[in-house]
Amino acid sequence: MIAEIILNSNAKDLNRIFDYTIPKEMLNKIKIGSRVFVPFGKRKNIEEGFVINIKEKSEFETKNIISFEDNIFLNEQKIKLAKWISKRYFANLSDSIKLMLPPGTTTKNIENRIKEKTNKFVYLKKSEEEIELEIETKKIKSEKHIRILKFLMQNEIISATELEIFTDTSRAILKTLEKNGYIELIEEQVNRNPFINKKVQKTNKLSFTEEQQITYNKIQKAIDDNKNSEFLLFGVTGSRKNRNIFTSNRKSFINRKNKYCIST
């Protein structure tokens, strides 16, 4: 199978499709929207690109895709929108595609991209009964060691940073306890999505006010009548209506300030 790829480049000469062969081991993993890494020309550096289509064969001699990124932020619909933006505003397709990517993931330098946050968490390695016995028999004498272990017995899992704050200790003391087999420090991914465990109650669609309904009816009528009309919409700052222009024959909103469009 062949992937049609747009290179992540601002150069106008590279604003075109390049065909690359999808290796057998990647066939079920690479999809439209995948970010891939490919050899290009005589350059030693690997180039980054986006898959915008997949087909069975190519009329050109092709090279293999070297690797791909597991996270897929794009899909066919977003690629289609990027193509429309590129054609409508004479922009590079790669620049239009990057508008569809989440903040922090557009840079070509992978090291500079936002990564999932990780943190070190502290777990008890010995049983609570064994620890309590060693405290009673004075095998564990350090006040700070006892403070940490008792805090963990009461609170179970906690990050190393928070544990240091709550017990007024240091990472060096935690390392000593880890070395002696009382605790273990494990690096784990921190969930950065604030809504993952939050239940959001679904509400009904809001109705237009009388003034909004009149405005909407006028715009809708212009669209239905195929009239080349323009409407200047006013709104409160931050409402995303400020200085919007709607052109009925184009059937799209154009925001002058933020330079984006939304197809209706």
What is the extent of the structural domain holding 54? Answer: 2-112
Do 72 and 13 belong together in one domain?
Answer: yes
The residue ranges of DSSP E strands in 79-140, in sequence order, are 118-124
Q: Does 31 fall in a domain?
A: yes
96, 119 Cβ separation under 8 angstroms: no
Do 14 and 87 belong together in one domain?
Answer: yes
Q: What is the pLDDT of residue 194?
A: 52
Q: What is the pLDDT of residue 242?
A: 45
Q: What is the pLDDT of residue 254?
A: 42
Distance CA 74, CA 79 (A): 7
Q: Does 88 fall in a domain?
A: yes
Q: What is the pLDDT of residue 9?
A: 80
Distance CA 93, CA 8 (A): 9
Do 50 and 142 belong together in one domain?
Answer: no
Q: What is the pLDDT of residue 175?
A: 92
Q: What is the pLDDT of residue 111?
A: 55
Give per-residue pLDDT as tens, 21-60: 988 888 888 888 888 888 887 777 788 889 988 898 888 8
Instruction: Give the closest residue to 173 by CA, choosing from 199, 193, 144.
Output: 144
Distance CA 37, CA 65 (A): 6
Q: If residue 97 lies in a helix (H) or strand (E), which one and from where to where?
A: helix 93-98
Q: What is the pLDDT of residue 35?
A: 86
Do 123 and 108 belong together in one domain?
Answer: no
Q: Does 202 fall in a domain?
A: no
Regions in the chain scoring below 50 on pLDDT? 114, 242-264
Q: What is the pLDDT of residue 235?
A: 66
Instruction: Give the closest residue to 119 by CA, choosing from 81, 154, 171, 60.
Output: 171
Structurally, the chain folds into a number of domains equal to 3
Do 34 and 99 belong together in one domain?
Answer: yes
